[in-house]
A and B are shown apart, each in its own frame.
Chain A
Amino acid sequence: MSAKQKDLKTWFRSGAPWIWMNAGAVTIAVLMTLGLLSLIAVRGLGHFWPADVIEAEYRVPGQESRLIAGEVVEAEQVPRARLAASGLPVEAVGGEFMTRELLKVGNREIYGADFTWLIGEWLSNQQKPDGLVVLERREWGNFYGYPLALKENGQVVAEGAAIMPELLKRIERTNELIERLAILERGDIGHINHGLERLRLERRSLELKGRLDAAVEADLQARRAEWDIRYQALESQLTELHRELSRDSMTMRTTDGREQEIQVAKIVRAFQPNAMSLPAKLGHYFVKLWEFVSDEPREANTEGGVFPAIFGTVLMTLIMAVIVTPFGVVAAVYLREYAKQGWLTRVIRIAVNNLAGVPAIVYGVFGLGFFVYVLGGSIDRLFFPEALPAPTFGTPGLMWASVTLAILTLPVVIVATEEGLARIPRMIREGSLALGATKSETLWRVVIPMASPAMMTGLILAVARAAGEVAPLMLVGVVKLAPSLPLNGNYPYLHLDQKIMHLGFHIYDVGFQSPNVEAARPLVYATALLLVLVIALLNLSAVYIRNHLREKYKALDH
């Protein structure tokens, strides 16, 4: 046996390799987490960057070459054999690999799809023309091409180099108009519709109670007429706005020479990425980023922002927190301070602890069956008979989503609060009692304030868990697109019966149910990043509070 082999053997016998293997496991786990996070961050944040648009000749062997333009989204090395197997006319000779590029070519109404896979080797004459304009539109995705003419009521007002500055001005104008239109449609007309609906329900309710006589009918009629008059006043404004909006249009030419007429009102913004300087690009980037968090989604959620989803998530979590805190705290205080400690409390404690590990979907099933159908159905029959058969609370909605998540996170709050209560030294309680305080006073003035950081930790953990849970919500109250926010200017302002949008569900829906997954993908990454950030923030604050708390009571323990 050579010395080297002997070395190896003793090395193995010492157990060192196994220690290294264990160390490797830690490394892998940490790298996996960081890798995932950075992948989501890079892909999510990269989406908003105005990438350069290339223009090139593309020639598939055996076919005419054609001009194409677009953004390179992805590129990968693929074995030549696999490309050949998928039916592409790949030349037999050449390197082992070929580059496959995913190009975002836009112009969906012309090409049918926004994205095409290309073979990098078949591209030639690549360049980045400064004049190429990207139009971000409200429908049909991006348009890539060259502006030919800008028209007002069909009359050409700008051509050539004059188009861009003029176009930007006019886009600004239409954007303003569209904002006004949205306020009119959503706000005022929405308010009128809401009022009319309430009148209808009032009438139906009176009818059910048998109190619908001529006087009431006339009164209702008069009130309806009032709404109608208000609506007519708005309607003329509406047509005026629509007319104003359709004033401007422009003619665009695609790289392969086709011309397309585009309404300026349909354009969100226009820019020339190849001609943009770095600061300009940065500015564009932050504008897009802001749009993402503050705007509403467009085009079946594949463009625009996620504001309603953020709002829905936050509102639902807040309501959940309001419900879960008192119940969780009362249960924990009872279990720790009032209940007689014995086998029963031990069993309850284990059960509560384990409920935290029960699959979330089970809570969703319970929420749908019990809250929505049983409770909601009864509430509808008792309080909203006028709306039946259309359900009010007997259908998934904000309230049931919050209550279901409250039940789901109740164990988290109970366990955390109990832990906090258990941590308070006995002598503090006894001191308070010795001074003549009653038990409730001790609890209220001494114990609970001392345990409040623990409750906060529990609550934050509960909120973090609730914010990320999607499976139960799919059953009890989220939708892909809610017509309006659950909190708005119409009475009763907070609409607990409305369905909401949710960040987590948004990810699932856009990523998996969307007709245009390729276009939606970057947005999904961005949404995921947002969700991760929110939850990481909540968790880190919980960790911080926990550590802070430990420091605070360390002295008391000894």
Chain B
Amino acid sequence: MTNLANEHMDARPSTNRLDFNTPALRRQRRIRTLKDRFARWYITIGGMAVLAAITLIFFYLGQVVMPMFQGAKIASHESIKPAWLAAAGEPLLLSVEEQNQVAMRLGKDGQIQFFDVTSGESIARMALPLPEGTQVVSFGEDTPGSHRLVLGLSNGQALVVQHDYKVTYPDNRRAITPQLSYPFGQVPISLDTQGRPLEQIGFSVNGSSLVLAAATGTQLHALSLSSTENLLTGETSIDEERLELPQLAEPIESILVDPRQQWLYAFHGNTHVNVIDLNRKQLNGRYTLTSAGAVTTASPLLGGISLMVGDSAGTIGQWFMVRDANGKPELKLIRSFNLAGKPIVQIIPEQRRKGFLALDSAGNLGIFHSTAHRTLLVEPITDAENTALGTLSPRADLLLVENGGQFRRIDIHNPHPEISWSALWGKVWYESYDQPRYVWQSTAANTDFEPKLSLAPLAFGTLKAAFYAMLLAAPLAICAAIYTAYFMAPTMRRKVKPVIELMEALPTVILGFFAGLFLAPYVESNLPGIFSLLLLTPLGILCAAWLWSRAPESLRLRVPDGWESALLMPVVLLVGFFSLSMSGYLENWFFGGDMRLWLTNDMGIPFDQRNALVVGLAMGFAVIPNIYSIAEDAIFSVPRSLTLGSLALGATPWQSLSRVVILTASPGIFSALMIGMGRAVGETMIVLMATGNTPIMDMNIFEGLRTLAANVAVEMPESEVGSSHYRVLFLAALVLLTFTFVMNTLAELIRQRLRGKYASL
């Protein structure tokens, strides 16, 4: 770059030379330089900014995805020692309400204390209406988040209590008033007719029916209560039924009732659980829960289907009832988690997700997620001397621990526990499934639904669609490329290439709509025709070629070389017309009039109208031009000298093509296939419209599929910003981006090398 302004100009005075150094010209030169500099900076900065903006895509997608794979974080607050706590006795239960403002503490003395979570100040103290002279012997909780608990009393009675929090806004400020209510009456319910203390108790409320079970020694007592409201009078009446359950031989150490009121779990002997079928009132089986050590605590997970069992070795096992091969339900260990090798003292399930917290005797806290099989955090929070009692807030963002006469608040930041790499790509054993499966099911109508976010079926669907598309497109496109580049007459080539390139420009939404609205029903009603078309077209072409080679010379010479394609036009049209019009007859002769029915009934192959065959045809159509134009380019640019040499040595055109040209161009053809594959994988509209979008894993060509791209298009607009679902969809996009980017880059590198090779020849 010449810098004009600073350059010393020849300023010798001369009458017949122009003076280039007048002040005006100097100023102009300065301005020009300035302009030049400005342009340089402007373009450099602008250009780099644009290029950076493009790479932003990667970083942004990555940044959205990252938080999913980070563990949980906790932050401890100062301990508080409210005055009332000293005289409160031993705690049975702690609970925090939705807003993290008010907490509840149930003492062994039957007193319920509500207090401010932050300051520890007492808000209200209520005594439970226990009969005179009775003590609380045991207590049980209903499903996480129900705010219901039951107390087993020393006189063989039980009391069901519910604690609620009324939120009001006097003067635009939130005020929370705690309340106690007794959904099954203030009068305790008698369980043991002999009035012995209920040593263990468990219960479950489902709608208006209550199942209550308690143990006195080895004896099991169970009641089923249902309250019905009289529609006319509005009175509620309570029906009580005593359940006659099989008696067990060993003393019972703990009782749990599942929320669907089908199973009763009675723990005993430190290692075993007896499962009783409440509907049939018989024993389902006796299962060993732990091989090493003893069971120390057990708790149901959200929804109550899973049982989390902690043992003295610091292991937590997830168990639920699964149907075995004979259809008999049995309790099975699904997965297990490890805390720190010390006995587990408490398992606290989350109230909104299938996650849970565990505390062990050494004061370690573990945060886990059951379905994702993830250990998000293991950290000591209290000293080992006193056993801690904890509770988790409904939003799972606050843990309140009582330990040695003081409370401690611990903030938990754990936004995406349900996602793990293994859950995204591997088989996951979900609750109520009889085996581990790959499932994508992001939403459902009911509220306690657990989203099942396995990307495996979507990735499978993507590859399946791409595979069938390539099955059609690869041979067609490469053969067409070979012919166009090597054999076709130049005049025809000039006409054919734009037509195929026009295919590339066709919006995919048009192909998709064509596939979904025209092709799918057409294929369904003309299945035999489509298959005979695929079969007969090559045969027809061969026959036509053979006949042409037999045709009289005078006729053959009239058509110059390189016009075979044009000759084949009527042949292909004829074969196509023939096979499609034969479709109905074939169906009548071979498939009893309806091939679709024949497939489903006789062959057992499920058939969807919008299936992989339709996608293969439509997307194959979309991919052909991509592969074609690159492959054609690669073959066409093979140096002429190579072919001429081969021909001169006596090879036929076909021989020199297959032995010389294709071999030389094969990397180019390969890269064309990769680019076609990349396109097929990322295509959205065609698969969205031409498949049923069912996320299944089945290679069956007659069934639908759901691809990553279509899934993003369908679910993204409804996804809540920042939720796990949203981030998983971003991950799907990132996977697509990475996949196609890698494919394209490889293809591009291969092509560049090939170009270098040609240049040297």
Total residues of chain A contacting the partner, CB 8 A: 107
Bound CA span A528–B4, Å: 59
- Known contacts being A27-B569, A410-B50, A470-B509, is A82 close to B541, with CB within 8 Å? no
Decide: A81 and B588 in contact? CB cutoff 8 A.
yes
Q: A25-B475, A29-B476, A355-B54 are in contact. Are A361 and B43 (CB under 8 A)?
A: no
Cross-chain contact of B498 among A331, A358, A369, A543 (Cβ < 8 A): A543
| Contacts from A to B (Cβ < 8 Å) | 8, 11, 14-34, 36, 39-40, 76-82, 84-85, 96-97, 327-328, 330-335, 337-339, 348, 350-355, 357-366, 368-370, 373, 407, 410-411, 414, 433, 436, 438-441, 443-444, 464-465, 467-471, 474-475, 504-505, 507-508, 511-512, 517, 521, 524, 528, 531-532, 535-536, 539-540, 543
Chain B residues with Cβ below 8 Å from A512 are 513, 516, 689
B378 on interface, CB distance cutoff 8 Å: no
The answer to whether B584 touches A362, judged by C-beta atoms less than 8 angstroms apart, is: no
Contacts of B681 in A (CB 8 A): 359
Q: Contact partner of B741 among A36, A331, A354, CB < 8 A?
A: A354
Closest to B581 in A: A77
B35's partner among A433, A438, A517 (CB-CB below 8 A) is: A438
Report chain B residues within 8 Å CB of A348: 51
With contacts A33-B499, A359-B684, A407-B53 taken as known, whether A334 is within 8 angstroms of B740 at the C-beta atoms is: no
CA distance A8 to B675 in the complex (A): 38
Q: Does B507 contact A (CB under 8 A)?
A: yes
Nearest residue (CB) in A for B522 is A76
B506 cross-chain contacts in A, Cβ below 8 A: 36, 468, 532, 535
Write the B504-526 contact mask toward A (1 if CB under 8 angstroms, else 0).
Answer: 01111111111011100000010
- A24 contacts across to B, CB distance below 8 A: 479, 537-538, 541, 565, 568, 571-572
Task: Across the A-B interface, give the 8 residue pairs with the lowest CB-CB distance, nearest first.
Answer: A81-B593, A334-B47, A15-B654, A359-B682, A468-B507, A25-B479, A440-B39, A20-B545
Once A438-B4, A528-B510 are accepted as A-B contacts, the answer to whether A11 and B546 lie under 8 Å apart by CB is yes
B716 at the interface (CB under 8 A from A): yes
Interface hits, B46-83 → A, CB 8 Å: 46-48, 50-51, 53-57, 60-61, 64
A475 to B685, CA, bound (A): 13
Given contacts A28-B537, A29-B624, contact A439 B40 (CB under 8 A): yes
Within 8 A of A (CB), among B453-504: 475-480, 482-484, 487-488, 496, 498-503
CB pair B716–A333 under 8 Å, yes or no, is: no
Q: Is B683 an interface residue (CB 8 A)?
A: yes
A117 CB to closest chain B CB, in angstroms? Answer: 12
Q: Residue of B at shortest CB range from A465?
A: B505
Is B652's beta carbon under 8 Å from chain A? yes
Q: How far is the CA of A33 from the CA of B516 in the complex (A)?
A: 17
A251 CA to B491 CA, complexed, in Å: 64
From B479, B548, B713, B721, A471 is in contact (CB under 8 Å) with B713
Q: Are the CB atoms of A25 and B713 closer together than 8 Å?
A: no
B709 in the interface (beta carbon within 8 A): yes
Known: A81-B593, A440-B39, A536-B505. A26 touches B689 (CB 8 A): no
Number of A-B contacts (CB under 8 A): 344
A96 near B60 with CB under 8 A, answer no
Give, as a whole number of angstroms, the nearest-CB distance from A538 to chain B. 8
Q: How far is the CB of B685 from chain A (nearest CB, A)?
A: 5
Closest to B64 in A: A369
Please report the C-alpha to C-alpha distance between residue A362 and residue B546 in the assembled complex, in whole angstroms: 49
A-B contact pairs, 28 of them (CB 8 A): A11-B549, A16-B654, A20-B541, A20-B542, A23-B483, A25-B480, A27-B571, A29-B624, A79-B588, A81-B593, A85-B593, A334-B47, A335-B51, A352-B51, A355-B741, A358-B744, A361-B736, A363-B57, A364-B713, A366-B57, A370-B56, A407-B57, A439-B36, A441-B32, A443-B39, A475-B717, A512-B689, A540-B498
Query: By the criterion CB–CB under 8 Å, are A440 and B35 in contact?
Result: yes
Identity of the chain B residue whose Cβ is nearest the Cβ of A20 in the assembled complex: B545
B745 touches A359 (CB 8 A): no
Task: Say whether B282 faces chain A, with CB atoms less than 8 Å apart.
Answer: no
Question: B737 near A: Cβ within 8 Å?
Answer: yes
Q: In the complex, which residues of chain B have a beta carbon less than 8 angstroms from the beta carbon of A474?
A: 713, 717
Once A22-B487, A81-B588 are accepted as A-B contacts, the answer to whether A327 and B509 lie under 8 Å apart by CB is: no
Report how many residues on chain B are interfacial, defined by Cβ distance under 8 Å.
122
Would you call B592 an interface residue if the criterion is a C-beta within 8 Å of the partner chain's C-beta atoms?
yes
* Least CB separation from A470: chain B residue: B509
Q: Is the CB of B587 within 8 A of A82?
A: yes
**Cα–Cα distance between A114 and B412 once the two chains are bound (Å):** 59
Give the contacts of B245-293 with A (CB-CB under 8 A): none
Contacts of A363 in B (CB 8 A): 57
Selected contact of B514 from candidates A40, A333, A338, CB within 8 Å: A40
Q: Does B356 contact A (CB under 8 A)?
A: no
Most chain A beta carbons < 10 A, residue from B48, B498, B548: B48
Nearest-CB residue, chain B, relative to A517: B517
A19 to B486: give the CA distance in the assembly, Å: 10
With A and B bound together, what is the CA distance between A540 and B502 in angstroms?
9
A361 partner residues in chain B, CB cutoff 8 A: 682, 684, 709, 712-713, 733, 736
* Contact, CB under 8 Å: B44 / A334: yes
- Shortest Cβ gap from A317 to chain B (Å): 13
Q: Are A20 and B43 in contact (CB under 8 A)?
A: no
Interface string of B541-559 (1 = CB under 8 A from A): 1101110110000000000
**Given A20-B541, A79-B593, A330-B47: A411 and B54 within 8 A (CB)?**
yes
Chain B positions within 8 Å of A444 at CB level: 39
Q: Please judge, given known A-B contacts A22-B487, A363-B57, whether A81 and B594 are in contact too, CB under 8 Å.
A: yes
Give CA–CA (A433, B3) in the complex, Å.
12
- Residues of A near B507 (CB, < 8 A) are 467-470, 504, 531-532, 535
Given A29-B503, A361-B709, A543-B498, residue A97 in contact with residue B514 (CB < 8 A) = no
Indicate if B658 sits at the interface (CB-CB under 8 A).
yes
Is B678 on the interface with A (CB-CB < 8 A)? yes
Q: Are A365 and B517 in contact (CB under 8 A)?
A: no
Q: How far is the CA of A18 from the CA of B717 in the complex (A)?
A: 50
**Contact between B525 and A471, CB atoms less than 8 A apart:** no
Among residues of B, the one whose C-beta sits closest to the C-beta of A24 is B541
Please, how many angstroms separate the alpha-carbon atoms of A341 and B269 in the complex? Answer: 78
Which A residues are in CB contact (< 8 Å) with B568?
Answer: 20, 23-24, 27
The answer on a CB contact under 8 Å between A441 and B513 is: no
Whether a CB of chain A sits under 8 angstroms from the CB of B181 is no
Closest to A468 in B: B507
Expressed in whole angstroms, the Cα–Cα distance for A444 and B38 within the complex equals 13
In the bound complex, CA of A258 to CA of B716 (Å): 49
With A and B bound together, what is the CA distance between A327 and B61 in angstroms? 22
Complex CA–CA separation, A507 to B54 (angstroms): 30
From A39, A77, A332, A357, contact of B744 by CB (8 A): A357
